[in-house]
Amino acid sequence: MSQTLRVAILGAGTVGTEVIRLLHEQGADLTERTGAELKIVGIAVRDADAPRDPIIDPALITDDPASLVGRADLVVELMGGIDPARELVLDAINAGASVVTANKALLAAHGPQLYEAAAARGVDIYYEAAAAGAVPVVRGVRESLAGDRINRIIGIVNGTTNYILDEMTHGGIGFEEALAQAQQLGFAEADPTADVDGHDAAAKIAILSSMAFHTRINIDDVPVEGIRAISAADVATAAESGHVIKLLAIAERRVDDQGREGIALRVYPALLSTDHPLATVRGAFNGVLIEAQAAGELMFYGQGAGGAPTASAVLGDVVSAARNRVSGGRGPQETSYAQLPVLDPGLVATQYQLRLLVADQPGVLAKVAGTFGEHGVSIQTVRQSQLPPTEGPAEIVLITHRAPEAALAATTEALAGLSSVQGLLAVTRVEDH
Amino acid sequence: MSQTLRVAILGAGTVGTEVIRLLHEQGADLTERTGAELKIVGIAVRDADAPRDPIIDPALITDDPASLVGRADLVVELMGGIDPARELVLDAINAGASVVTANKALLAAHGPQLYEAAAARGVDIYYEAAAAGAVPVVRGVRESLAGDRINRIIGIVNGTTNYILDEMTHGGIGFEEALAQAQQLGFAEADPTADVDGHDAAAKIAILSSMAFHTRINIDDVPVEGIRAISAADVATAAESGHVIKLLAIAERRVDDQGREGIALRVYPALLSTDHPLATVRGAFNGVLIEAQAAGELMFYGQGAGGAPTASAVLGDVVSAARNRVSGGRGPQETSYAQLPVLDPGLVATQYQLRLLVADQPGVLAKVAGTFGEHGVSIQTVRQSQLPPTEGPAEIVLITHRAPEAALAATTEALAGLSSVQGLLAVTRVEDH
């Protein structure tokens, strides 16, 4: 129990401060659990003179992270962003330190370089907090399901957009109003692009699917659609048919038309039936559903962001890395032996909901239905919207059976050419269970 | 990649057969993931001549498990029961093998002896499948939350009783009928005692709480109440007020009246509001909700039993143990440094629902309410049951605020003495969120 592990913290923002607090408050417990004293040897920050939480010892503050990483056994990287985080993590690894990072942008763009460096140097790199905050889905995929075959991951991995969509659903407000509210409450940043346009979710599904399918998947492999176009009317129409709209990150094994197995990836808003397990993920929470061959369906649910929850995930990794240091072992290493191809997302057939404004005259429905049929898209349900009409023509809502993206695109193009169709208000995907 | 690890399988029932199948089907993947070939060197069974799945090589079958454990690097114990499993696991550990077990009865009764033996010999003992089947809650508690402070675990950890209660709720049938149906479908055993009387759930919460609170908790420390007394009317009455009845296993930090922190444990059926995260756990699934200081609320959900799901959890452990063998490290070791006292369950105040048959005459409600007040139990709601009356007198349903068990017992005793109270039909706890 006399061993001491030197811990360097890079970044003392919201998460970093909570990590430092947990290291203090749980110090004696962490020593019992790891067999080593975890001693903070330095805290690197951008501005050494900025005011800080009193839990942070000013004597440990430095604005020179490069000098710090060489004198630590464990480096906890919480700076975010690519530069200088990438160089610092590589320097830490090359100096023989194990790394814990919460940096999804870094991993989704440069993970392989870091994993290879860690493997070559024989040190650990852990990153539970990079995928869904406190939700322990990285360990679930890398360890719990390591003897199984994962077929599909479908997750709500961005709390900001889930909060916005939830407020639109339960508060009856529009996107802009919900976004402003999220910003006011600290659930959304001043520049909400990374969240509302789906890039944050894309980084997370890239990280999760790389592990799950033993294939290197980059954030650029993930086609992304955000939630800016979702209107209050879309949400209300979804509710009429027993659905909620959620921003989903999906990765799954599929076979393409040449019979080749690959991974289909996407981030987009979609309708989920209210009895879908992910439909119950409320507010800023995250939920990830994994389908594996032997385990069947597993769901992980919890807080996907915030200082303390993210710090909990970081500390869990710190304990794992410390235990390995003490026992002389290694954590699970990245494996990318499968290298499955990333499939064209257009291959994946999904259901669609379409909201159409049509002339209120006989024969229109037959014409519309005929157009779907001509393009090989079959209709599951059609109904007149129960929303109060805001314009003259009638609004009809159609839900299709599964159809390829190309067939749906051809259908909507043909619908636009019909004189009786006065507007295509929205097209939203539907994910069944 | 040339290393070979010798794997001995003890028990080739439903789970054992699926473990063997996964070891075959995923053989190449498992080698990539662990860095070693996992080679089955023997499969110990009770009756070597019984018919078996063709995946099992008859040449590997032996009815002499004792001879097998000495010549393996990894021993997978799937026999169940205490004897001879305990001796075999100890022999395996003493021979230097790492152990993976799914044996909840063994761990809940004799865990400490096995953990100490493994620590002394420097080998791993993993047991993900012993707590909630495929639901990765053991790894969640031992590793993901290892840097946090767990305050409460509340779980549906027995699929048989959840199936029965779910059928009673959604099928409107009684306990006996639902049990018979569960037996017919293979969700309940011919002798359902361990499940319906709560002993299985008690073993699982003993295992989970030992890890979560770093305290050795034995199955005998867990007060248990099963679901045999739950009637169709109880379930229907619960539904009237927006509740479902679930068999819950609960372990939480509490402070007793001397200000001493300890662990309060219990297994009992209770009403949960339909918007409680665990209320959505349907059929034979399991769900475990964990409240931790920094992480907040986490939920794990999945299949709690069955050959393939349990085998998935076992294989995840096999991969972890194999990775440690390859890297020369160790998995997380059991820690019981906290040794918190187990508190008297009577200390924990909960809400109660009471169904009373009362004379249909003026002033009765005042008398009943007065009796609660005299014993310090306050009433949250009272209503007349909407169930069709089966007997002459009126049925009223009361939900109390939180009250200590002793106060509730004194209240029900006093109610029994009132001439206007003709029967106490049921008392069921209510767990809020």
Query: Pick from B30, B295, B331: which is nearest to A312 by CB?
Result: B295
Least confident of A36-40, A344-348, A369-373, B3-7: A344-348
pLDDT of the residue at A361: 82
pLDDT of the residue at A118: 97
* B135/A139 Cβ within 8 A: no
> Which residue in chain A is spatially nearest to B323 when comparing CA positions?
A332
pLDDT of the residue at A197: 97
**Would the pLDDT of B2 be above 70?**
no
Q: Which long-range contacts (CB under 8 A, 24 or more apart) does A398-401 make?
A: A398/A353, A398/A354, A398/A356, A398/A368, A398/A372, A399/A241, A399/A351, A399/A352, A399/A353, A399/A430, A400/A351, A400/A352, A400/A353, A400/A354, A400/A372, A401/A351, A401/A377
* B148/A143 Cβ within 8 A: no
**Would the pLDDT of B362 be above 90?**
no
- Of A39, A204, A246, A367, which one is the catalytic site residue? A204
The string of pLDDT tens digits covering residues A224-260 is 999 999 999 999 999 999 999 999 999 999 998 889 9
Output DSSP code: residue B342. B
B54: left (phi over 0), alpha (psi -120 to 50) or beta: alpha
pLDDT of the residue at A384: 85
Spell out which residues of chain B touch residue A306, defining contact as CB-CB under 8 Å: 296
In this prediction, residue B244 has a pLDDT band, given cuts at 50, 70 and 90, of very high
**Would the pLDDT of A344 be above 80?**
yes
**Would the pLDDT of B389 be above 80?**
no
* Mean of all residue pLDDT scores within chain B: 94
Place of tokens 């129409």: A237
Q: What's the rounded Cα separation, in Å, for the pair B107 and B99?
A: 12
pLDDT of the residue at A367: 92
**Would the pLDDT of B386 be above 80?**
no
In this prediction, residue B361 has a pLDDT band, given cuts at 50, 70 and 90, of confident
> Which residue in chain B is spatially nearest to A214 when comparing CA positions?
B33
The string of pLDDT tens digits covering residues B338-357 is 999 999 888 889 999 999 99
Q: Closest approach of chain B CAs to the CA of A56, in angstroms?
A: 18
**Would the pLDDT of A363 be above 90?**
no
* Mean of all residue pLDDT scores within chain A: 94
Q: Which domains does chain A have, with CATH numbers?
A: 4-133+307-327 (3.40.50.720), 138-303 (3.30.360.10), 349-431 (3.30.70.260)
Q: What is the ipTM of this complex?
A: 0.93
In this prediction, residue B300 has a pLDDT band, given cuts at 50, 70 and 90, of very high
In this prediction, residue A391 has a pLDDT band, given cuts at 50, 70 and 90, of low
pLDDT of the residue at A353: 96
Q: What's the rounded Cα separation, in Å, for the pair A183 and A305?
A: 14
Q: What's the rounded Cα separation, in Å, for the pair A411 and A409?
A: 5
**For helices B104-121 and B199-213, what crossing angle results, to 10°?**
30
Average pLDDT over residues A23-32: 95
| Threshold 0.90, pTM exceeds | yes
Query: Pick from A148, A297, A315: which is nearest to B147 by CB?
Result: A315
Nearest-CA neighbor of A56 among A21, A8, A10? A21
pLDDT of the residue at A360: 83
> Which residue in chain B is spatially nearest to A335 when comparing CA positions?
B33
CB pairs under 8 A between A and B: 196
* Structure tokens, B61: 């079958």
pLDDT of the residue at A279: 92
**Would the pLDDT of A203 be above 80?**
yes
In this prediction, residue B391 has a pLDDT band, given cuts at 50, 70 and 90, of low
* Structure tokens, A304: 């996907």
Residue to mutate among B100, B148, B336, with most A CBs inside 10 A, is B148
pLDDT of the residue at A346: 82
The string of pLDDT tens digits covering residues A286-295 is 999 999 999 9
> Which residue in chain A is spatially nearest to B134 when comparing CA positions?
A295
Average pLDDT over residues B310-337: 95
pLDDT of the residue at B432: 78
**Would the pLDDT of B1 be above 60?**
no
Percentage of residues in chain B having pLDDT higher than 70 = 98
**For helices B175-184 and B159-171, what crossing angle results, to 10°?**
120
Known active-site residue B39: no
Place of tokens 């890079």: A10
Q: What's the rounded Cα separation, in Å, for the pair B219 and B339?
A: 15
pLDDT of the residue at A243: 96
What are the b/e assignments for B114-152, b being 16+ CB within 10 Å?
bbebbeebebbbbbbbbbbbbbbbbbbbbbbbbbbbbeb
Average pLDDT over residues A11-36: 96
**Would the pLDDT of A311 be above 60?**
yes
User: In 3-state terms, what secondary structure has residue B201?
Assistant: helix
Average pLDDT over residues B316-327: 96
In this prediction, residue B8 has a pLDDT band, given cuts at 50, 70 and 90, of very high
Query: Pick from B296, B308, B323: which is nearest to A309 by CB?
Result: B296
Query: Pick from B139, B298, B329: which is nearest to A144 by CB?
Result: B139
Q: Closest approach of chain B CAs to the CA of A303, in angstroms?
A: 7
Average pLDDT over residues B6-34: 96
The string of pLDDT tens digits covering residues A95-119 is 999 999 999 999 999 999 999 999 9
**Would the pLDDT of A35 be above 70?**
yes
* B330/A329 Cβ within 8 A: yes
In this prediction, residue A345 has a pLDDT band, given cuts at 50, 70 and 90, of confident
pLDDT of the residue at A126: 97
pLDDT of the residue at B137: 96
The residues, any chain, with a CB within 8 Å of residue B136's CB and separated by 6 or more, are A136, A139, A140, A144, A145, A298, B128, B300, B302, B313, B316
Alpha helices per DSSP H over A85-174 = 85-94, 104-121, 129-132, 137-139, 159-171
The residues, any chain, with a CB within 8 Å of residue A346's CB and separated by 6 or more, are A404, A405, A406
pLDDT of the residue at A119: 94
Average pLDDT over residues A389-415: 89
* B314/A308 Cβ within 8 A: no
The string of pLDDT tens digits covering residues B191-204 is 999 999 999 999 99
Q: Closest approach of chain B CAs to the CA of A363, in angstroms?
A: 43
The string of pLDDT tens digits covering residues B81-140 is 999 999 999 999 999 999 999 999 999 999 999 999 999 999 999 999 999 999 999 999
pLDDT of the residue at B275: 86
